[in-house]
Structure 1
């Protein structure tokens, strides 16, 4: 063996060992992120909406009462708005101010109207990765600090009637928003609302910091349920869902930083958690604010997909940690990383461990060619680590990795994975440095059989 060959062999061995060591789940990093997140603290001022004149009879419009409660909190530099037992109809959005906790008590339900005109005037928001002006989200906070939605009550978005009809009519608005994204149209000119059919999010926090959403139930959203947009220091815990309309993603962190999602019971008509970071040209212009430092743990998944990254991720997604989660029902895909040649950006430093899946279509799926769309802006996907994952059945594929010949996916580790049944076991194309250890798809092989005797 010549010296040059020996040197190359040692270099390859060293790189593989280093990558293997770095693929261990970084618990210390997770602890650091969680410890950096601040739980909001509120002034002692409280206001009970019933004492202000609200009626929980499911009929009376309480919009003005909730607006007054929020104004009183603003006057007192913050406080807690108490929503007692009852069904409170609100014909229009709730707009937060800073230092406010909206506490929806057990047996209380806030039920929003489904008249689109109630959600005018337009507000600054985002729609599928493009910043624009649209109908107000049903609960909306813009540039607020220290805000919360807590309690054991329910928020009902009434999304299954009028809003649901918008889906088949959204094409013109969706296409225009994407054209404005690609041509860098001034944001002040991106005005939608009436005449278009872009549904509003149920809850959106925009440019906010120190957020808590805890123990509430979310039902029947018009569009995405909980959108964490350009916000940071966020805790989402103990909430539950029953929201099965079109595009009812559970939680969408977008350009979000320092996020903890834990002990959530999902039941959604779309992705449970979908991590995003802007779309196409606009996203690539915002690389200073990727989605990063996101911890997802101890959750029960049910819906379309469990945890998704993309496909709107053009500013980049990094440092995502998923652990100790399981399914409570069918998922189309368990963990799904998706991008295409329109997006650019990157997905890196993704760690997933201790996941129990029941029946899925595909168990683990990484693709750089989502829908086969686009050209010129291929994404970087690297340093993705899966360990201790079980799945009872994949009706299609166990594990899929799809890169491009000229932009390969790099550094993928698959360790201690058992998929008991799969139509297709493993599809791995255009990927470099894929390490597989203790991976079983189908029946585990035992000792080889002996030669039969004649």
Structure 2
């Protein structure tokens, strides 16, 4: 069903459904129950100055040994905060965080990571586009840690443009190999990448961690995904600024993770601002840990897409709340839910409330057939509620739903939606139980004009 350049006003009597009631709770009650389980990490009062361990913020000295020593001192003391004074600190290799440790970057402090790939070996357990494997270490990496934080007003510069980001054009064989290993169930210990391979590492990754805080810092120039929460929980990301323009420079990628609050963020990414993921294909379905209980609020979207769910989401995604957000610049798509029949899993109980975008290509795009490929494992997409969502312009399409013939997208509810102008207003295929209440696409039609009657003689 398609409509071109028209105004639409639908009114539905399904008011109780639009309120998003689930399991007896309203949307706000459900959100508030989740918020009770998201608390800041308990950080040690011990403090250590990085410069006391040999670091110099002179843009020349390699400060990797100083970070290693400072982290060892924190571990010995049972925890601590590593204070990084103003200056430019070269770090030729990864920072591996441990439990009860924080890195605090003073205003004017900048970490700039080196570009020699050998410095990021040996390979560590990680994940790449939804497949577990061993690869070059993320630049800042925490594995099986708790009570960890990255805070302050300083900057983390991955130096990706001069380093790992150049591998984008070389990655295809390794990307395909990782997917084949996923599909054939190769043991993770045998999925050895790193030296001789070209999978770019993430800038920051928390893997099997809990009680995490990322606050205040500016993050830029990532080699690949920027901040990856992997099999982690109880996470707060607040007042972060992104300037990340290399290929695949997503902002936040929660994967197999839960109880996450993302708020007051200034996004500026060449890729997705928030991309909620949950594993790829067979491995994701077997892992069966959904990404859930994620709240994104009071933030400014700018980049490729605002909120994305997928496409690696085979373990399922549920209970995602986007509230009181606006835009800091152009986004290609505002809300983008994507899967294909290789994935399986589910996307459900997604709430988007009080969100405003400017110009986009597509306003809301929900597809079960991403890239037009896949078979055998259709995704169940249902219970998506959008209320008070506005767009200035959608140059291509306003509202798009593309279900799958054998698994239709269902119970999608649009309430108080306004798109001032767009190309195609609505395009729905293989969708059912789509409900509208106060939806206007194009110029709103108000009082009908009077008949222009000329009496006959």
Where does residue 22 of structure 1 map in the other structure?
20
Query: Any idea what SS the aligned residue of 1:272 has?
Result: strand
Distance 1:114 1:323 in 2: 38
* 2:151 matched residue in structure 1: 150
Matches of residues 84-103 of structure 1 in structure 2 within 5 Å? Answer: 84-103=85-104
Give the alignment's TM-score, normalised by structure 1. 0.95
Deviation at 1:16, TM superposition (A): 5.1
Structure 2 CA distance for aligned equivalents of residues 44 and 378 of structure 1? 50
Secondary structure of the corresponding residue to residue 53 of structure 2 = coil
1:427 has 2:421 as partner:
no
In the alignment, what sits opposite 1:69?
A: 70
Structure having greater relative contact order (Cα 8 Å, sep ≥ 6): 2
Query: How far apart, CA to CA, are the structure 1 residues paired with 2:15 and 2:286?
Result: 36
Change (3 A) 1:369 1:452: same
2:108, 2:227 → 1: CA distance? 21
Give the Cα–Cα distance (whole angstroms) in 2 for the partners of residues 228 and 444 of structure 1. 42
Question: How far is 1:22 from its partner?
Answer: 3.2
Instruction: Please say if 1:160 is aligned against 2:158.
Output: no
Which residue is equivalent to 1:10?
Answer: none
Write out aligned runs for 1:272-287 (5 A): 272-287=273-288
What does residue 337 of structure 1 align with? 337
**Distance of 1:300 and 1:20 partners within structure 2:** 25
* TM-superposed deviation, 1:208: 0.2
Q: How many residues align?
A: 439
**Who is 2:403 aligned against?**
403
Kindly report which structure 2 residues correspond to 1:296-335, keeping only aligned pairs within 5 A, or say none: 296-335=296-335
The CA deviation at 1:33 is 1.3
In the alignment, the residues of structure 2 paired with residue 22 and residue 155 of structure 1 have an alpha-carbon distance, to the nearest angstrom, of: 39
Aligned to 2:9: none
Equivalent residue runs for 1:45-444 within 5 Å: 45-287=46-288, 289-444=289-444
Give deviations 1:147-191, integer Å, cap 9, x for gaps: 000011000000012322200110000000000000000000000
Displacement, 1:41? Answer: 1.6
Q: 1: distance between equivalents of 2:178 and 2:110?
A: 34
Give the ranges of 4+ consecutive aligned residues of structure 1 lying more than 6 Å apart after TM superposition: none
In structure 1, the partner of 2:6 is none
Q: 8 Å contact 1:23–1:413 — kept in the other structure?
A: no
Cα deviation, residue 405, structure 1: 2.0
Contact 1:38 1:233 in 2 (8 A): yes
Q: Deviation per CA, 1:218-247, whole angstroms, max 9, x where unpaired? A: 010000000000000000001101110000
Using the alignment, how far apart are the partners of 2:201 and 2:147 within structure 1?
A: 23
Mapped contact 1:237–1:263 kept (Cα < 8 A):
yes
| Unpaired stretches in structure 1, ≥5 consecutive residues | 1-14
The alignment partner of 1:330 has SS state of strand
SS at match of 1:160: helix
TM-score when normalising by structure 2: 0.95
- Whole-Å Cα distance in 2 between the matches of residues 130 and 92 of structure 1? 24
How far does residue 195 in structure 1 lie from its aligned partner after superposition? Answer: 1.5
Query: Match of 2:10?
Result: none
**In structure 1, C-alpha distance between the alignment counterparts of 2:325 and 2:19, rounded to whole Å:** 24
Q: 1:446, CA displacement in angstroms?
A: 1.5
